[in-house]
Structure 1
Amino acid sequence: MTDRPPVAPTTGPWRIATRRSHLAQVQAGHVGQALETATGRPYELVPMATTGDEHPDRALDAFDAKGLFVDRTRGAVLAGDCHLVVHSYKDLPTEAHPDLTIGGVPARVDPRDALVTRAGWRLADLPRDRQVVIGTSSPRRRAQIAKHRRDVLVQPIRGNIETRLGKVARGEVDGVVLALAGILRARPDVPGLTVVPLEHGEMLHAPAQGALALECRVDDAATRKALRKLDHEDTRSAVTAEREVLLQLQGGCTAPIGAHAEVRVGPTGEKRIELLGLLSDPSGTSLYRASHETGASEPHLLGRVMAATLLEAGGDRVLERLRAADGA
């Protein structure tokens, strides 16, 4: 058996690893406050740069993005320097880490994407009498924009929320597509811009978007017990179904894959999960959608059924072409 460093101390403040970005620290601070309220122990944030943060100008699909934004924060927890790390759940690799566990999934914020422009346009309202430029580095968003508006030029764009919104304010691009949850949490101060949420029929969001994952060591019983107090059952079920779609399709960060699950109360009072799924090629030409529903206790099964449906509809050929292009 491999020797491991001891877990973080059970006394003193909760040490929470987080990325250095403003949004990441805001999210971690919310978790810290909730953890302090639930346990009576204070908290402190331990900000750090990840590999992804050190390449702010490169598109996500320009290099291997697996674990790009979680590597060093996870390392701090594995080393026993921190009790937990707060992730944007959508940034986590689909494969579970053998020495880490998701101890808590708080209730998520609105998972939809949003179009931010100076004029308050929706996708269908974007001008047609000139070249419109929308910024996003997400293959999923790019494909869905192309599906609705092939005349729109999509320009890769990276950086934090404030950086991307600043490009809109200065007229460098006509708009950007961002996660609405990030805007709601960070509350960026960029006047003159309008945020328009995009409904699921326009833009299906990334699996687990809007949710946070509170990750700790498997062998840290005290932290696991504390994080259970912050767990939101319906959110965990929904994001489990969404991420199962991603896992089964093996799409990683470069394949245009979207999923939205919602827990509802059925006619006889039982909980059900409704799941929407999307798989596309990067151009949006071959784009497949499906919906399924099952009992709330079977999120993994629901995700597997969705993935199989998308593959059978033609998504298998999309993934084969993507893998061939990547040299896989």
Structure 2
Amino acid sequence: MRKIIIGSRGSDLALWQAHHVKSQLENIGCEVEIKIIKTQGDIIQHLSFDKMEGKGFFTKEIEAALLEKSIDLAVHSHKDLETNPPEGLVIAAVSEREDPADLLLIRKEAVDANETFLLKQEAITGTSSARRKSQMMRFRPDIEIKDLRGNVPTRIQKLRDGNYDAILLAKAGVSRLNIDLSEFAVVDLNPREFIPAPAQGVLGLQIRETDTDLAEILRQLDTPEVRRRIAVERGVLNKLDGGCQLPLGVYCPDDHHVFVSFSTNWEEGAIWEEYEVDDLEGIVDIIVQDLQEEQD
């Protein structure tokens, strides 16, 4: 069987993801190598995402390497991918879904058991995600939000160093890296209430459209029910022409429920909606129409 070269960012989490897929491929008899590629999102650390130009901050350079054939397979956090892929590239498989929830990590001296999310009044809370900012403003308009960049261990170290009272992170990343959080209070935010990013917790395995041999191999790693549900989440994102700087959360936990948070301006806080349906067909258009009416 042919050798497969995986392209990955160099962060701890990206490499965990690449090695996870490498191991799965080796289990079905493939020879696999990992090649590290730096992206714009890795290089530019001083700006929050909403101040960076364009979309695909963590994917463009890797997708270019795919098209140039210096790698065969890109392993992405699916939520980082643009909803309109570059011509010639396809998602050949999606992984099982890790818990998509967000976590709020709080320094123990900033805990207040009487407050929502156990976070003291006017706490300095770190995140660069417009989606997370908008939802924190919905639940806790008193807090002060301060931008937070860096990979997962770097963000946690900034909290440890006292730069923030609390920070927001994806639970999937913390779980995959098996990070010890015992020094903090950890609030597991219910993904039906504090809505994750579309496809949060899912890996997207991207290849060249013409690489039919690899597509056949990757079919063994695909999870059709996850693919179906994140198609709803990413469909809403696509029709709103949003990237990771759009204050939008969409979560489809099964074939009958969709939860949405949305804001045109994160500082005003997010609206929250729940949709209960017999099946998912047509639900994207209904959600998008509702959100566009909210904008008007």
TM-score of the pair, normalised by structure 2 = 0.92
Question: What is the match of residue 310 of structure 1?
Answer: 291
Secondary structure of 2:253's aligned partner: strand
Does the CA contact (< 8 Å) of 1:23 and 1:186 recur in 2?
yes
Aligned: 1:238 with 2:229: yes
Question: What is the match of residue 275 of structure 2?
Answer: 292
Q: Deviations over 1:237-256 (max 9, x none)?
A: 11110000101111222221
Aligned: 1:111 with 2:100: yes
Q: CA deviation at 1:289?
A: 2.5
Could you tell me which of 53, 72, 87 is aligned with 2:61?
72
Could you tell me which of 190, 193, 196 is aligned with 2:184?
193
What residue identity is the alignment partner of 1:218? E
- Give the Cα–Cα distance (whole angstroms) in 2 for the partners of residues 19 and 285 of structure 1: 34
Q: CA deviation at 1:297?
A: 6.7
- Give the Cα–Cα distance (whole angstroms) in 2 for the partners of residues 296 and 70 of structure 1: 32
Question: What is the match of residue 51 of structure 1?
Answer: 40
Does the CA contact (< 8 Å) of 2:131 and 2:266 recur in 1?
no
- Give the Cα–Cα distance (whole angstroms) in 1 for the partners of residues 280 and 210 of structure 2: 26
Secondary structure of 1:36's aligned partner: helix
- Give the Cα–Cα distance (whole angstroms) in 2 for the partners of residues 23 and 285 of structure 1: 32
| Higher RCO (CA < 8 A, seq sep 6+) | 2
Q: CA deviation at 1:189?
A: 4.7
Q: How does 1:1-328 map to 2 (within 5 A)?
A: 11=2, 13-38=3-28, 40-119=29-108, 123-128=116-121, 131-189=122-180, 192-200=183-191, 202-263=193-254, 272-285=255-268, 287-294=270-277, 298=281, 301-312=282-293, 314=294, 316-317=295-296
Shift in alpha-carbon separation, 1:138–1:197, aligned structure 2, 3 A:
same
**Unpaired stretches in structure 2, ≥5 consecutive residues:** none
- Give the Cα–Cα distance (whole angstroms) in 2 for the partners of residues 296 and 219 of structure 1: 33
**Unpaired stretches in structure 1, ≥5 consecutive residues:** 1-9, 264-271, 318-328
Q: Deviations over 1:300-326 (max 9, x none)?
A: x322221112222x1x23xxxxxxxxx
Shift in alpha-carbon separation, 1:290–1:190, aligned structure 2, 3 A:
closer
Shift in alpha-carbon separation, 1:77–1:177, aligned structure 2, 3 A:
same
Secondary structure of 2:91's aligned partner: strand
What residue identity is the alignment partner of 2:99? D
- Give the Cα–Cα distance (whole angstroms) in 1 for the partners of residues 221 and 137 of structure 2: 39
Name the Cα RMSD after superposition.
1.9
Does the CA contact (< 8 Å) of 2:159 and 2:165 recur in 1?
yes
Shift in alpha-carbon separation, 1:238–1:201, aligned structure 2, 3 A:
closer
Shift in alpha-carbon separation, 1:20–1:92, aligned structure 2, 3 A:
same
What residue identity is the alignment partner of 2:258? L
- Give the Cα–Cα distance (whole angstroms) in 2 for the partners of residues 54 and 61 of structure 1: 16
Does the CA contact (< 8 Å) of 1:237 and 1:296 recur in 2?
no
Identity value in percent: 33
- Give the Cα–Cα distance (whole angstroms) in 2 for the partners of residues 305 and 237 of structure 1: 17
Secondary structure of 1:173's aligned partner: coil
- Give the Cα–Cα distance (whole angstroms) in 1 for the partners of residues 54 and 221 of structure 2: 29
- Give the Cα–Cα distance (whole angstroms) in 1 for the partners of residues 72 and 256 of structure 2: 32
- Give the Cα–Cα distance (whole angstroms) in 2 for the partners of residues 29 and 279 of structure 1: 34
- Give the Cα–Cα distance (whole angstroms) in 1 for the partners of residues 256 and 197 of structure 2: 17
Secondary structure of 1:262's aligned partner: coil
Q: CA deviation at 1:190?
A: 5.8
Shift in alpha-carbon separation, 1:55–1:275, aligned structure 2, 3 A:
same
What residue identity is the alignment partner of 1:166? Q
